[in-house]
């Protein structure tokens, strides 16, 4: 029986509305039900990527604001003005292209006599920009380029404090983030500029290299990765353990074997899924994000694992991420449905000048990434693979890796001071300084700070299996302690000489640490750690002993008056 003409017209009109991307379709009972997002578009993906990247930027600039003056400032442990002068002298006193290429930083243009102000200015600008992107979920190329340039300026003068692999990883991730956005427009859904496939594959290429590089450096490095025994030591000897690491270290041997084998699968096999179609790419993204969450829970690895989640998000399209967004008629999800419907019917927005510039820049980006990836791929294939290395000062494409070797025992440098006039006297009382997060007092619970990063604590971990001659800044730190320098002491958790005269002598002792055994004697006493003295790390020093050492390196002597 033929349908009434009026009913047929109404049905066609309803079908046309749904086809054009209407956010709701009619169900069997006539009620509205949400339409599903189509696969293969990345409007929502861009918003999630930008917010995740902005969060990591926010943490990185917050760390810079809180710590850079003490580490790199006018009277910092490694003053960046001294570093810039050494670069300038190396290039015959000129601040030309060679100097900029060696250390690309806007600090070349600023007044070096107020470096504390300059460092705070860069950090505050970065905090403001990243905070805006995090809250709004939108950005343009200009804003993202500014964030990248600000952080590059800090990394380029950061010296040992910024020598970690995640600094280059953040710069590479941030560089890709520039091209994820429209040129000028600030909108969560800029209809004229859909997310570039070149950029999305750039993120996928980044997470592939990060994970594969980490896996290859392990099997080419420490033998314990082959024997599946590395996790027997990792939780105890990692740079800054957290409370959960204490309990994971007590796990049975078979659990540690399972962990090590799972690590190999996730770093050596799973990365290839990113190239094997949508479903396997989604699986890759899920597995890598879960892996990073486990690493976040089991250690204080700065913002490294949070940052590694960012490129993994490029594995998810709008259809996969749609459930994270509300389904209101005026919401982002509904607007994406409308855009998808319009484009499915061939309705394309009229190109703008900015769109043309962006397309050209994306093409240039693809060529640049391919060219810069050549030495990186050769490094991955080499039996002499190096990790966390940049082949240019802009750090656009880098090599990555983590824990190629595992230390089998934990050693710590404990700084001590005494008010005794005679450091060698038996009655001299030596009192310990406590750092913010690194192990010291055996009774103190391990800290939980990820994604925040205490740079001095991390460098103290490296110093413990090196010598003080390899870490000159530690003698500068000793000099600061000998004067009760307030800025430097803000990096520490406890100053035993607070409220009284500074120590007359400072020394460093070398200790061996291990987790107390659950149920054992030390644990029953409330200790998280058991420790045993190895010997001196550097001998007792007075302030006068360091004068020539400081002058030779261009450091201001601690007893000199602060600049006004």
Distance (Å) of CA 341 to CA 1, 154, 540: 33, 45, 74
DSSP structure class, residue 536: E
Q: Decide: residue 277, CB within 10 A, 0-12 exposed, 13-18 middle, 19+ buried.
A: exposed
Whether pTM exceeds 0.75: yes
Distance (Å) of CA 41 to CA 293, 430, 456: 26, 64, 44
Residue 339 CA, chain-centre distance (Å), reads 34
pLDDT the model gives residue 559:
67
DSSP structure class, residue 431: E
Polymer length of the chain: 564
Half-sphere exposure in the Cβ direction for 339 (13 Å, CA): 23
pLDDT the model gives residue 32:
44
Dig out the tokens for 144 from the structure. Answer: 């993202």
* Axis-axis angle for helices 197-219, 165-178 (nearest 10): 160
In whole angstroms, what is the distance from residue 389 CA to residue 448 CA?
A: 29
In whole angstroms, what is the distance from residue 419 CA to residue 427 CA?
A: 11
The tens place of each residue's pLDDT in the chain, 564 residues long, gives: 444 444 434 444 444 444 434 444 444 444 444 578 889 999 999 999 999 999 999 999 999 999 999 999 999 999 999 999 999 999 988 888 999 999 999 999 999 999 999 999 999 999 999 999 999 999 999 999 999 999 999 999 999 999 999 999 999 999 999 999 998 889 998 888 899 999 999 999 999 999 999 999 999 999 999 999 999 999 999 999 999 999 999 999 999 999 999 999 999 999 999 999 999 999 999 999 999 999 999 999 999 999 999 999 999 999 999 988 888 777 888 888 888 888 777 767 766 666 778 888 889 999 999 999 999 999 999 989 998 989 999 999 999 998 988 999 999 999 999 999 999 999 999 999 999 999 999 999 999 999 999 999 999 999 999 999 999 999 999 999 999 999 999 999 999 999 999 999 999 999 999 999 998 999 999 999 999 999 999 999 999 999 989 988 888 877 644 443
Dihedral sign from CA coordinates of 511, 512, 513, 517: negative
pLDDT the model gives residue 351:
67
Tokens 């302690």 identify what position?
481
pLDDT the model gives residue 339:
86
Helix runs in 394-472, H state only: 455-464
In the chain, helix, strand, coil percent, each to 5? 55, 10, 35
Distance (Å) of CA 119 to CA 107, 146, 235, 413, 481: 9, 15, 35, 29, 23
pLDDT the model gives residue 452:
96
pLDDT the model gives residue 354:
67
Instruction: Name residues whose C-beta falls within 8 Å of residue 15's C-beta, 6 or more positions apart in sequence.
Output: none
Q: How many CB atoms lie within 10 A of CB 557?
A: 15
């Amino acid at each position: 029986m033929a349908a009434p003409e009026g009913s047929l017209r109404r049905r066609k009109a309803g079908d046309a509305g749904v086809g054009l991307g209407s956010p709701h379709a009619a169900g069997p009972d006539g009620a509205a039900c949400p339409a599903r997002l189509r696969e293969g578009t990345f409007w929502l993906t861009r918003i999630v990527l930008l917010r995740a990247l902005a969060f990591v930027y926010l943490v990185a600039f917050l760390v810079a604001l809180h710590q850079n003056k003490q580490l790199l400032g006018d009277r910092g442990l490694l003053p960046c003005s001294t570093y810039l002068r050494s670069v300038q002298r190396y290039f015959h006193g000129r601040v030309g292209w060679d100097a900029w290429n060696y250390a690309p930083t806007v600090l070349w243009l600023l007044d070096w006599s107020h470096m504390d102000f300059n460092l705070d200015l860069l950090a505050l600008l970065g905090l403001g920009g990243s905070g805006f992107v995090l809250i709004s979920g939108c950005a343009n190329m200009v804003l993202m380029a500014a964030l990248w340039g600000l952080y590059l300026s800090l990394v380029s003068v950061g010296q040992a404090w910024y020598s970690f692999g995640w600094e280059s990883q953040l710069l590479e991730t941030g560089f890709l983030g520039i091209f994820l956005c429209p040129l000028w427009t600030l909108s969560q859904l800029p209809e004229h500029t859909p997310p570039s496939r070149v950029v999305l594959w750039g993120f996928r290429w980044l997470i592939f290299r990060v994970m594969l590089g980490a896996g290859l450096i392990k099997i080419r490095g420490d033998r314990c990765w082959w024997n599946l025994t590395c996790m027997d030591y990792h939780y105890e000897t990692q740079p800054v353990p957290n409370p959960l690491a204490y309990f994971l270290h007590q796990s049975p041997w078979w659990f540690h074997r399972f962990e090590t084998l799972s690590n190999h699968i996730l770093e050596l096999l799973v990365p290839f899924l990113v190239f094997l179609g949508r479903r396997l790419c989604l699986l890759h993204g899920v597995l890598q994000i879960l892996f990073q969450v486990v690493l976040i829970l089991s250690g204080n690895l700065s913002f490294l694992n949070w940052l590694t989640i960012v490129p993994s998000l490029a594995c998810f399209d709008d259809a996969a991420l749609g459930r994270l967004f509300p389904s209101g008629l005026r919401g982002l999800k509904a607007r994406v449905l409308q855009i998808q419907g319009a484009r499915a019917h061939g309705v394309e927005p009229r190109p703008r000048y900015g769109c043309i510039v962006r397309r050209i820049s994306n093409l240039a980006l693809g060529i640049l990434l391919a060219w810069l990836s050549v030495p990186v791929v050769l490094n991955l294939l080499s039996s002499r693979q190096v990790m966390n290395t940049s082949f240019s000062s802009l750090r656009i494409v880098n090599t990555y890796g983590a824990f190629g070797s595992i230390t089998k025992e934990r050693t710590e440098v404990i700084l001590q001071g005494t008010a005794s006039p005679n450091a060698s006297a038996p009655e001299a009382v030596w009192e310990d300084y406590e750092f913010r997060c690194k192990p010291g007092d055996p009774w103190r619970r391990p800290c939980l700070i990820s994604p925040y990063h205490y740079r001095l604590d991390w460098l103290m971990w490296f110093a413990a299996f090196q010598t003080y001659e390899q870490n000159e800044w530690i003698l500068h730190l000793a000099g600061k302690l000998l004067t009760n320098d307030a800025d430097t002491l803000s990096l520490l958790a406890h100053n035993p000489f607070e409220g009284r005269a500074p120590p007359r002598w400072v020394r460093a002792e070398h200790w061996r640490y291990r987790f107390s055994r659950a149920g054992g004697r030390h644990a029953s006493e409330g200790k998280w750690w058991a420790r045993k003295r190895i010997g001196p790390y550097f001998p007792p020093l007075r302030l006068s002993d360091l004068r020539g050492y400081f002058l030779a390196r261009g450091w201001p002597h601690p007893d000199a008056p602060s600049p006004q």
